[in-house]
Amino acid sequence: MSAIVSVNNLRKAYAGGFEALKSVNLDIEEGEILALLGPNGAGKTTLISTICGITVPTSGIITVGGFDTQTQFRAARNLIGLVPQEINLEPFETVMNSVSFSRGLFGKPRNDAYIEDVLKQLSLHDKKDSKIMTLSGGMKRRVLIAKALSHEPRVLFLDEPTAGVDVELRKDMWEVVAGLKASGVTIILTTHYIEEAEAIADRIGVINKGEILLVQDKADLMAQMGQKQLKIELTDSVDVIPDGLATYDLERAKDGLSLTYSYDTKGERTGITTLLNDLQKVGLHLKDIQTQQSSLEDIFVGLVKEEP
């Protein structure tokens, strides 16, 4: 597969001196779904905005489909569709007019049949003559996607498509993205939900403080990120971890009132059942148990620490 978007040594510093992107290199392959994971303020939106032409790079070169986004901006932007993070829509316009407007901006002649297909794909067809202000939040977000698809782009950027969206709608959105991928569109989405990246991405890039920390196949990364912890609270404190539990990866709390068991959700067996059985065998009584997954923040801390 060849790179459809190529970002080389991209740096973006704002007038105040803040460096939003520090020498970013990234190749996005045609037909893939790349999820960019990162906490708020990591530079995700700046990266997308710079590729799409909303922000001017301080230095570095970006090509889309082989076209330089600065010197051949028309050819490059023709290939790109952008779904922004904020719901930015003209409230008094109808869905149809708003989506057709986007298509026209890209120099394409009006094509109602194509637009209606897009609206059908996004379950918006029955709302095509409704004013945007009358739509629900989830529908508005889908209007943004329809606008981004209106000119038949080959690369689609989705900036936090599911931020503030309820679970059901999030699943809908994932289906939409899967459908787009099936139609051959390359998709780059930003998110700070691990589950989202896990559900739909082929590759995952982690970005923090303006730097891409890693770009990996989802399967590889998920194996690393799949660490979970089971916290076992005991009715009576223990001074040492009993010998019968020596085979488990257990950590004793200082007060001896709880044990923490680390396990891999991606492994064939989590070992939880046998652990619970063995706890009973050694005569420990459980007060409560809870599981916690290492949060994205933790993983970032881990990733940043690993850097020399």
Partner 1 sequence: MNLNAVWTIYIFEMRRFFRTITQSLISPVLSTSLYFVVFGAAIGSRIQEVEGVSYGAFIVPGLIMLSVMTQATSNASFGIYFPKFIGTIYELLSAPVSFLEVVAGYVGAAATKALFIGVIILITAFFFVDIQIAHPIAMMAFLVLTCVSFALLGFIIGIWADNFEKLQLIPLLVITPLVFLGGSFYSITMLPPVWQTITLFNPVVYLISGFRWSFFGEADVAIGVSLLAIALFTGACLAIIWWIFRTGWRIRQ
Smallest distance, partner 1 to C-beta of residue 4, A: 17
Orientation angle between helical segments 112-121 and 137-149, nearest 10 degrees: 140
Query: What is the spatial distance between Cα 195 and Cα 293, in angstroms, rounded to a whole number?
Result: 12
The smaller minimum CB distance to partner 1, of residues 147 and 170, is found at 147
Residue whose CB is less far from partner 1, 88 or 273 = 88
Residues of span 2-21 touching partner 1 by CB under 8 A: 14-15
Beta partners for residue 211, in sequence order: 208
Shortest spacing between CB 181 and partner 1, in angstroms = 21
Q: Which x/- pattern over 206-245 shows residues binding partner 1 (rule: CB under 8 A)?
A: ----------------------------------------
Residue 137 touches partner 1, criterion: CB under 8 A: no
CA distance 215 to 280: 43
Site for partner 1 in 144-183 (CB under 8 A): 147
- Residue 88 or residue 277: which is nearer to partner 1 going by CB? 88
CB of 151 to partner 1, least distance (A): 9
Would you give the binding string for partner 1 spanning residues 27-56, x where CB under 8 A is met? -------------------------xxxxx
Nearest to 24 by CA among 2, 6, 40, 3: 6
Angle at 10 between CA 7 and CA 12, to 5 degrees: 140
φ, ψ of residue 52 to 5 degrees: the values are -85, -10
Nearest in space to 203 (alpha carbons), one of 31, 81, 60: 31
* Residue of 62, 80, 221, 299 that binds partner 1 (CB under 8 A): 80
Binding test (CB under 8 A) with partner 1, winner from 11, 70, 106, 260: 106
| Residue 146 CB-density burial (10 A; 0-12 exposed, 13-18 middle, 19+ buried) | buried
Q: Is 288 in the site for partner 1 (CB under 8 A)?
A: no
The rounded distance, in Å, linking the Cα atoms of 11 and 20 is: 8
Residue from 92, 136, 175, 237 that binds partner 1 (CB under 8 A)? Answer: 92
Within 8 A by CB and 6+ apart from 2, the residues are: 29, 30
Exposure string for 189-219, b = 16+ CB within 10 A, e = fewer: bbbbebebbbbbbebbbbbbbbbbbebeebe
In the set 17, 40, 74, 184, which binds partner 1 (CB under 8 A)? 74
Interface with partner 1 includes 108 (CB under 8 A)? yes
Binding residues for partner 1, per CB under 8 A? 14-15, 52-56, 73-75, 77-78, 80, 82, 84, 86, 88-93, 97, 100-109, 147
